[in-house]
Structure 1
Amino acid sequence: MPIYNNNERPIAYLDEGEGDPILLIHGFASNKFVNWVYPGWVDLLVKDGRRVIAIDNRGHGESYKYYNAEDYGAPVMAEDALRLLDHLYIDQADLLGYSMGTRISAFCALQAPDRVRSLALGGMGYGLISGVGNPEPIVKGLLAEKITDVTDRTGRTFRAFAEQTKSDRKALAACMQSARKPISEEMVSTITAPTLVAVGTKDDVAGDPQALTDLMPNARYLEIANRDHMTAVGDKVFKEGLLEFLEQFT
């Protein structure tokens, strides 16, 4: 698997296909395989005639693991993603993010709007602005000695997912403890790239998707019926909706 040297801290990625580039940015406790390869996204987009780049965010997958909270945060991880585009000599790309990857994608658009041709923001609505709850139960769940010691429902869910993805739980805990740089409504309103907001109707994590969509001048909402935060990512409606959305640029 290719890596690039990010200040002596390797970032892993995959790079497949030819055509217009699209950068895929996964969610918390996931990785490029779990979020994008196994649900069929990479094959789908390559067959659609695109160059597909999927990053392992720092602390995740095969990328370097940091154990201090100050080494994380969406703005820092957005810089990693933009440096990957630099490494691959890609001036501009479409971005597809899911959950935490949506927050990272939004910061890419805020920090370097000329690098982002379009945005697809999955699994995140107004929670991008308001936040998605208290991180402490998740941190405690990740650091508990055994999953059977975790009594909080949310903490247990993330602990189980981290074990499923064979993640470094200490690195994930540091990531979850990082300071959340606020994104205001005013900041979101400056994102002018064409944007697709895709959220499951049973997603109780994302926040109101229409409220987020309404803040951006060139955004539209894709409803993914009867899917929650964990199941919407591989849904056929999401995939078909993204392909339709991307057609406008070809």
Structure 2
Amino acid sequence: MSIRCEVYGDGTTLIAELSGELRLSDSAPLRERLLKCLADQPDALLIDLSGMRVEQPLALAIFTAVLRQAARWPGTPILCYSPTGDTRELLSAKAYHRLPIFGSREAALAHLHDGRLTVPSISEELLPVGGSSRHARDVATEACLRWDLPDLIAPASLIVTELVANVVDHARTMMTLRLSLRPRYLNLAVRDGSHAPPVAAIPAHPEAKRGRGLLLVNELAYSWGHLPSDHGKVVWAALRRI
């Protein structure tokens, strides 16, 4: 990869510092690296473009692709910054008008702090054992009651049951369950230690309380998917708030 991406934290914000020449051949690996940043569910992702040179402008589409994913899940604000220069000029084109770009890190942080809302969230570490699915249902119920979302108790409980059961049955690693309340969605996510994609299950019986797998998640969620992380993956789902 001709472009380098160094990621470091600034409190609850992640900063991805890009340097080198951006080419079309960099699109896939850079996209995966930035998606791994989103999998950490930071409060914000800042992308430093000041050290990047654009050799093939079509490769800039990588940033709008990552922005679209962030809008689906986990709702993380993405802000780019670069002083005046060729990169800034290229990103001022109409095709990138939705990509927030600022002249400096300070300007990006000032904008973020002006508009940031505290994101309520609940996290729970779970063992890869059968009882974890039941505990996940309890956590989802508690979260929905705490955030005054009674209509989402049933779908949220069913979704986290299946996400956790998928880890227990297939990944068999420690996992982290996280529920986050966004302005338009209730986000549900389970991080595990396996890089293998989640396994869709076919129900053995239509009235079974579990085992319906990701088919059920697909029916209940507004949207869902999975992202790679540095040490495994995150499977996520979003429920629209009523």
Larger proportion of strand? 2
* Structure possessing the higher relative contact order (Cα contacts under 8 Å, 6 or more residues apart): 1
Give me the TM-score of the superposition, normalised by structure 2. Answer: 0.30
Instruction: Give the alignment's TM-score, normalised by structure 1.
Output: 0.29
Larger radius of gyration: 2
